[in-house]
């Protein structure tokens, strides 16, 4: 990286503008190591780009499933029933896979941080600014996302809106970066690309060795965490913050009864209140006496873990029909919990009409435990776990 500027000697001409005092060049680090080249950056960058693109698309889908704007609420699809599970599994595992790729990519281009003068022109300044935004947002997104999966929030802002906003910043900076660097990417895309051929041939094996190492790191971090959502690999789930088998009734829980303040629900006193054109109330026994259906649906958390389970209960559609709801009505579900962002949940008609959507009373054949929402909870296909309301006490036809 030693580039000595060769400046042809030329006579000094008087300038109209007063010239700035020339800053002495500081002592900048030089990088004798190899592979800080465009071919290595391109090879790593395209995989990092794929990981970030997958992470961004799945993140946006997740965000709108969880916080649908009013015009979207009734058209969000309830199928495929495993859609959210796959989406969120991909979101978290592509984010984790991006960590080794980001480290390696930034290592490759690190010498570019030390150039003098730091800003050569407006164009150069803008390019550096966009790279600064790219690096900052990429590190920020992966860091905050990883900490969110362990429910650790050391920052003063709220996670969801900021993670969402910086995601747009990141994908924008990435697309701009690809546009700016397009000639270099094109020249180093393949083994026989002109730029690649100009690089020292001796670096080829070393580069392949580095890329193999990075691939091994991606494989290792994926294998040791993906089991939290891809249950066939749960035996290798050594580092994920969740394990599919750890939790009450063999299923993880995000919000416990203690956290929600609903540890003691008295079954004889509990009532389900249905509000509609024909409002009614049901005791737990009356609810259990209605037609019961058993469905196999995954519960999938925004934080990445998911697991399929068997749920038994009453179809929400049947409850709505009895309340005189027209087909295509939406429904509001209210929980017994005293506070919490998801105490009140609204469900669009696609979900409400789906025969798989239940007010569940049982999990894998057993009565729901308090942590899983005793006496009754919602389970619907293709929905984030936070919207599968637990400790249901009231439903309103909308």
28, 75, 125, 216: residue in contact with other proteins (rule CB under 8 A): 216
Q: Could you tell me if residue 12 is left (phi over 0), alpha (psi between -120 and 50 degrees) or otherwise beta?
A: beta
**Structure tokens that stand for 58 in this block:** 């799945």
Report whether 203 contacts 35 (CB < 8 A).
yes
Phi, psi of 307 (to 5 degrees): -160, 140
Q: Binding pattern to other proteins, positions 131-150, x when CB under 8 A?
A: -xx-xxx-xx--xx-xx-xx
Residues 299-318 that bind other proteins (CB under 8 A): none
Q: Could you tell me if residue 395 is left (phi over 0), alpha (psi between -120 and 50 degrees) or otherwise beta?
A: beta
Minimum Å gap between C-beta 114 and other proteins is 10
Minimum Å gap between C-beta 210 and other proteins is 7
Residues 162-181 that bind other proteins (CB under 8 A): 162, 164-180
User: Of the two residues 105 and 317, which places its CB atom closer to other proteins in the complex?
Assistant: 105
Residues 188-207 that bind other proteins (CB under 8 A): 206
67, 123, 152, 294: residue in contact with other proteins (rule CB under 8 A): 152
Minimum Å gap between C-beta 29 and other proteins is 8
Identify the bridge partners of residue 280 per DSSP, sorted by sequence position: 274
Minimum Å gap between C-beta 14 and other proteins is 38
Minimum Å gap between C-beta 211 and other proteins is 10
Phi, psi of 275 (to 5 degrees): -110, 125
Report whether 380 contacts 388 (CB < 8 A).
yes
What is the rounded CA–CA span in Å between residue 219 and residue 215? 6
Q: Which stretch binds other proteins (CB under 8 A): 126-134, 292-300, 314-322, 389-397?
A: 126-134
DSSP E strands: which ranges in 193-330? Answer: 271-275, 280-283, 293-300, 306-315
In degrees, rounded to 5, the angle at the alpha carbon of residue 158 between the alpha carbons of residues 152 and 161 is 120
Residue 238 makes contact with other proteins by CB under 8 A: yes
User: Of the two residues 78 and 225, which places its CB atom closer to other proteins in the complex?
Assistant: 225
Identify the bridge partners of residue 291 per DSSP, sorted by sequence position: none
User: Of the two residues 122 and 291, which places its CB atom closer to other proteins in the complex?
Assistant: 122
Residues 72-101 that bind other proteins (CB under 8 A): 96, 99-100
Q: Return the SS3 of 37.
A: coil
Minimum Å gap between C-beta 193 and other proteins is 18
Closest CA to 82 of 309, 247, 365, 377: 309
Q: Binding pattern to other proteins, positions 333-372, x when CB under 8 A?
A: ----------------------------------------
Minimum Å gap between C-beta 152 and other proteins is 4
């Amino acid at each position: 990286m030693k580039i000595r500027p060769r400046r042809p000697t030329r006579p000094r001409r008087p300038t109209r503008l007063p010239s700035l005092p020339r800053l002495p060049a500081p002592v900048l680090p030089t990088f004798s190591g190899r592979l800080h080249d465009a071919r290595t950056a391109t090879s790593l960058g395209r995989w990092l780009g794929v990981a970030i693109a997958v992470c961004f698309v799945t993140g946006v889908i997740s965000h709108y499933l969880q916080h649908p704007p009013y015009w979207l609420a009734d058209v969000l699809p309830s199928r495929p029933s495993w859609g959210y599970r796959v989406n969120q599994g991909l979101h978290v595992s592509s984010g984790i896979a991006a960590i080794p790729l980001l480290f390696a990519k930034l290592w490759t281009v690190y010498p570019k941080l030390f150039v003098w003068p730091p800003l050569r022109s407006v164009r150069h300044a803008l390019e550096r600014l966009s790279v600064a935004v790219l690096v900052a947002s990429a590190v920020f997104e992966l860091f905050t996302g990883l900490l969110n999966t362990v429910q650790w929030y050391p920052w003063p802002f709220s996670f969801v809106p900021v993670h969402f906003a910086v995601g747009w910043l990141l994908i924008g900076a990435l697309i701009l970066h690809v546009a700016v660097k397009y000639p270099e990417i094109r020249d180093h895309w393949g083994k026989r690309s002109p730029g690649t051929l100009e690089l020292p041939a001796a670096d080829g094996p070393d580069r392949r060795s580095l890329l193999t190492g990075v691939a091994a790191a991606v494989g290792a971090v994926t294998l040791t965490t993906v089991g939290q959502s891809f249950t066939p690999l749960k035996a290798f789930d050594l580092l994920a913050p969740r394990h599919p088998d750890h939790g009450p009734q063999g299923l993880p829980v995000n919000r416990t009864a203690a956290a929600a303040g609903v540890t003691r629900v008295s079954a004889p006193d509990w009532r389900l209140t249905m509000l509609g054109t024909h409002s009614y109330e049901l005791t737990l026994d009356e609810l259990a006496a209605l037609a019961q259906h058993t469905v196999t649906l995954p519960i999938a958390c925004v934080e990445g873990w998911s697991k399929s389970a068997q749920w038994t209960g009453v179809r929400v559609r049947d409850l709505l029909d009895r309340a005189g709801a027209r087909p295509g009505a939406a429904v509001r579900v209210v929980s017994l919990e005293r506070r919490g962002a998801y105490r009140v949940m609204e469900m669009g008609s696609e979900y409400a009409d789906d025969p798989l959507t239940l007010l569940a009373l049982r999990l894998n054949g057993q009565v729901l435990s308090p942590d899983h929402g005793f006496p009754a909870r919602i389970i619907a296909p293709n929905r984030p776990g936070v919207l599968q309301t637990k400790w249901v006490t009231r439903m309103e036809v909308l």
